[in-house]
């Protein structure tokens, strides 16, 4: 299309915007890939149920034990052990919504969880951040805000998150500052950490202010999400258990995720790690429904393996991909929407980080995953949020979003007349068929450089990682926060100021 470069450039921005809008609501058209037969899935499910019934699970929170006991679980208070019968799990599974809408304060950013919908969430949890220019450093609230801006800026990221731990903010105030950043710099659904009921009360209050809704409306409209990790094997700590109780009683989305590293905190076999994870997830899901039937909940899976040489966790490995396929089958067996992750053990935003993350993504997406956490920015086994990696990941996510789009096959799409017009051995650059479509025919990449070697080397031989860094800078420089009623913004800031003056709320451990 060389002769028309000028025209293409002129229309490019609009075409990209129209294409990007399609990324907001993704539907996965592919049949899930399977590694297990139905019988094998059933066997794992029954084995996990047997584990919950006979071996039980230690629930460190008295509130959690009380709720489960009230619903019929056998509880030994002296050991904090809870034993759940299969019938109680089955009953709980009956009330789990198979699909739910997470309402964002901008309705255009609301998203659906379950069915064939796919939600991409950014990285969560790293204590550090890094970029090529500044290297690795401790997370701050300004870095947190930057990652909110990046998450907000790309349509293919559907919800916000806890992208980095802002260690320049006192612990009792972090939940206030991270909630404020998510609710004012973004208009997508936020992620609130479960670090005790007092913090969650603040977060939920801020969400209600941002949405302008009362408590009853809030309890019937999921507007935020959280991750509750079990402490494998077979243990659930106080903040996670109480988080499940708080989110469930407020009708907000809980994602129960056992983090099972095969060979470390789970059996060394994939099937064994999945069985243990399944048991733990079943217990957490059961708790949500015991607290409040109909609570939106997801089956979280995060099964990987350790490096048997160093003991370090590994991600995006072949075992990881297979475990994802298997976890998807287990989630479908119980009819609960499924959350998986994109991850890498790489210390640099390099080729390893790309191939490991993509292995994770294919495992999740071909496995039929509904919600992919850590899908942008994860580096170093989750210890660092990387600016370059964030952009490289967005490129990969956008590619998946494009792969999900249908391929039209009308008579005109088959292009017989274009072949006639081009002629034997001719070219298609100027055919009517091409001219009608060239503006929006193909995905226009964010990072990928498709120029020839000469043009690329004349321009400094920049690697994809270099270019991703430039994209992150440009995105942040151009960022405009989404519209918000000034009164709402002021109410949020007033709330934060008041709670800070009251000392905030320390995390519970």
Q: Using CB under 8 A, which of 69, 197, 383, 508 touches its own copies?
A: 383
Rounded CA Rg of the chain: 24
- Do 122 and 390 meet the contact criterion of CB atoms below 8 Å apart? yes
Tokens 């964030």, residue located: 390
| Gap between the Cα atoms of 443 and 457, Å rounded | 24
| Gap between the Cα atoms of 202 and 505, Å rounded | 9
Kindly tell me which of 441 and 497 has the beta carbon lying closer to its own copies. 441
Q: Using CB under 8 A, which of 38, 50, 137, 502 touches its own copies?
A: 50
Kindly tell me which of 292 and 333 has the beta carbon lying closer to its own copies. 333
Give the interface segment with its own copies, choosing from 184-192, 198-206, 289-297, 342-350 (CB under 8 A): 342-350
- Do 84 and 52 meet the contact criterion of CB atoms below 8 Å apart? yes
Query: DSSP secondary structure string, 127-192?
Result: SEEEETTTEEEE--HHHHHHHHHHHHH-TT--B----S--TTS-TTTHHHHHHHHHHHH--SBPB-
Write out the two tokens for 418: 């274009």
| Gap between the Cα atoms of 2 and 189, Å rounded | 42
In the region spanning residues 211 to 250, those forming contacts with its own copies, defined by CB under 8 A, are 231, 233-235
Give the interface segment with its own copies, choosing from 93-101, 244-252, 400-408, 479-487 (CB under 8 A): 400-408
Write out the two tokens for 132: 């090529």
Residue count of the chain, please give it.
509
Q: Using CB under 8 A, which of 143, 177, 242, 395 touches its own copies?
A: 395
Give the interface segment with its own copies, choosing from 147-155, 166-174, 198-206, 395-403 (CB under 8 A): 395-403
The 10 Å CB-count burial string (b at 16+, else e) for 14-27 is eeeeebeeebbbbe
Instruction: Return the bridge partners of 14, or none.
Output: none
Tokens 């919908």, residue located: 117
Kindly tell me which of 104 and 354 has the beta carbon lying closer to its own copies. 354
Q: How far is the CB of 250 from its own copies (least distance, A)?
A: 29
Q: How far is the CB of 256 from its own copies (least distance, A)?
A: 17
Kindly tell me which of 226 and 321 has the beta carbon lying closer to its own copies. 321
Q: Using CB under 8 A, which of 73, 183, 396, 505 touches its own copies?
A: 396
Spatial neighbors of 255 by CB under 8 A, at least 6 apart, are 225, 226, 227, 228, 297, 298, 300, 339, 371, 373
In the region spanning residues 469 to 498, those forming contacts with its own copies, defined by CB under 8 A, are none
Q: Using CB under 8 A, which of 107, 214, 216, 407 touches its own copies?
A: 407
In the region spanning residues 422 to 441, those forming contacts with its own copies, defined by CB under 8 A, are 422-429, 431, 433-434, 437-439, 441
- Do 288 and 248 meet the contact criterion of CB atoms below 8 Å apart? yes
Please work out, in degrees rounded to the nearest 5, the angle formed at the alpha carbon of residue 302 by the alpha carbons of 190 and 220.
Answer: 35
Q: How far is the CB of 413 from its own copies (least distance, A)?
A: 5
Q: How far is the CB of 400 from its own copies (least distance, A)?
A: 8
Kindly tell me which of 71 and 444 has the beta carbon lying closer to its own copies. 444
Q: Using CB under 8 A, which of 8, 25, 106, 489 touches its own copies?
A: 8
| Gap between the Cα atoms of 193 and 229, Å rounded | 11
Task: Identify the three-state secondary structure at position 158.
Answer: coil
| Gap between the Cα atoms of 271 and 387, Å rounded | 35
Please work out, in degrees rounded to the nearest 5, the angle formed at the alpha carbon of residue 381 by the alpha carbons of 228 and 277.
Answer: 40
In the region spanning residues 19 to 48, those forming contacts with its own copies, defined by CB under 8 A, are 29-31, 33-36, 40, 43-44, 47
332 binds its own copies (CB under 8 A): no
Q: How far is the CB of 22 from its own copies (least distance, A)?
A: 12
Q: Is the dihedral of CA 444, 448, 449, 453 positive or negative?
A: negative
| Gap between the Cα atoms of 22 and 275, Å rounded | 37
Kindly tell me which of 286 and 344 has the beta carbon lying closer to its own copies. 344
| Gap between the Cα atoms of 317 and 333, Å rounded | 25
Kindly tell me which of 37 and 98 has the beta carbon lying closer to its own copies. 37
Q: If binding means CB under 8 A, how many residues of this protein chain bind its own copies? A: 132
In the region spanning residues 75 to 104, those forming contacts with its own copies, defined by CB under 8 A, are 81
Q: How far is the CB of 101 from its own copies (least distance, A)?
A: 27
**Site map (CB under 8 A) of its own copies, residues 150-189, x = contact:** ----------------------------------------
263 binds its own copies (CB under 8 A): yes
Write out the two tokens for 185: 């710099």
Rounded to 5 degrees, what are φ and ψ at 388? -65, -40
358 binds its own copies (CB under 8 A): yes
In the region spanning residues 277 to 316, those forming contacts with its own copies, defined by CB under 8 A, are 305-314
Q: Using CB under 8 A, which of 180, 253, 276, 343 touches its own copies?
A: 276
321 binds its own copies (CB under 8 A): yes
Give the interface segment with its own copies, choosing from 86-94, 179-187, 197-205, 258-266 (CB under 8 A): 258-266
Kindly tell me which of 58 and 116 has the beta carbon lying closer to its own copies. 58
Q: Using CB under 8 A, which of 182, 199, 275, 341 touches its own copies?
A: 275
| Gap between the Cα atoms of 147 and 160, Å rounded | 9
Write out the two tokens for 37: 């037969």
Q: How far is the CB of 140 from its own copies (least distance, A)?
A: 19
Q: Using CB under 8 A, which of 61, 301, 317, 342 touches its own copies?
A: 317
């Amino acid at each position: 299309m060389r002769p028309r470069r000028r025209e293409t450039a002129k229309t490019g921005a609009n075409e990209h915007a129209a294409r990007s809008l399609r990324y907001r609501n993704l539907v996965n058209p592919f049949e899930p890939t399977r590694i297990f037969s139905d019988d094998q899935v059933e066997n794992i499910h029954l084995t996990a149920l047997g584990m919950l019934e006979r071996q039980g699970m230690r629930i460190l929170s008295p509130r959690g034990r009380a709720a489960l006991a009230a619903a019929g679980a056998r509880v030994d208070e002296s050991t904090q052990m809870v034993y759940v019968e299969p019938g109680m799990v089955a009953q709980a599974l009956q009330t789990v919504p198979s699909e739910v809408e997470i309402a964002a304060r901008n309705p255009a950013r609301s998203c659906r969880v379950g069915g064939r919908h796919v939600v991409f969430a950014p990285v969560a949890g790293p204590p550090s951040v890094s970029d090529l220019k500044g290297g690795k450093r401790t997370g701050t609230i300004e870095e947190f805000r930057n990652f909110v801006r990046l998450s907000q800026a790309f349509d293919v990221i559907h919800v916000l998150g806890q992208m980095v731990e802002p260690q320049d903010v006192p612990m009792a105030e972090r939940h206030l500052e991270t909630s404020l950043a998510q609710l004012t710099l973004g208009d997508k659904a936020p992620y609130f950490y479960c670090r005790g009921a007092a913090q969650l009360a603040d977060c939920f209050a801020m969400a209600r202010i941002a949405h302008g809704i009362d408590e009853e409306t809030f309890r019937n409209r999921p507007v935020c999400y959280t991750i509750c990790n079990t402490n494998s094997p077979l243990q659930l700590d106080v903040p996670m258990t109480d988080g499940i109780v708080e989110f469930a009683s407020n009708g907000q989305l809980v994602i129960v995720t056992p983090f099972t590293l095969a060979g470390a905190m789970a059996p060394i076999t994939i099937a064994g790690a999945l069985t243990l994870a399944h048991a733990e997830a079943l217990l957490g899901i059961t708790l949500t429904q015991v607290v409040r039937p109909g609570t939106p909940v997801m089956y979280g899976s995060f099964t990987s393996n350790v490096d048997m040489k160093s003991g370090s966790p590994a991600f995006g490995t072949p075992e990881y991909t297979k475990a994802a396929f298997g976890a998807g089958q287990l989630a479908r067996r119980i009819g609960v929407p499924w959350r998986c992750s994109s991850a890498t053990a790489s210390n640099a935003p390099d080729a390893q980080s790309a191939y490991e993350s993509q292995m994770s993504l294919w495992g999740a997406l071909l496995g039929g995953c509904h919600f992919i956490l850590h899908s942008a920015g994860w580096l170093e086994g989750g210890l660092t949020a990387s600016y370059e990696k964030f952009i490289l990941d967005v490129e990969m996510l956008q590619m998946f979003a494009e792969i999900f789009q249908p391929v039209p096959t009308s008579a005109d799409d088959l292009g017989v007349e274009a072949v006639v017009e081009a002629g034997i051995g001719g070219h298609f650059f100027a055919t009517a068929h091409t001219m009608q479509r060239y503006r929006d025919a193909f995905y226009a990449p964010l990072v990928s450089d498709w120029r020839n070697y000469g043009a690329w080397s004349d321009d400094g031989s920049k690697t994809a990682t270099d270019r991703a860094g430039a994209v992150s800078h440009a995105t942040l420089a151009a960022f405009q926060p989404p519209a918000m009623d000034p009164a709402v913004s002021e109410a949020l800031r007033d709330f934060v100021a008041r709670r800070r003056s009251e000392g905030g709320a320390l995390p519970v451990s």
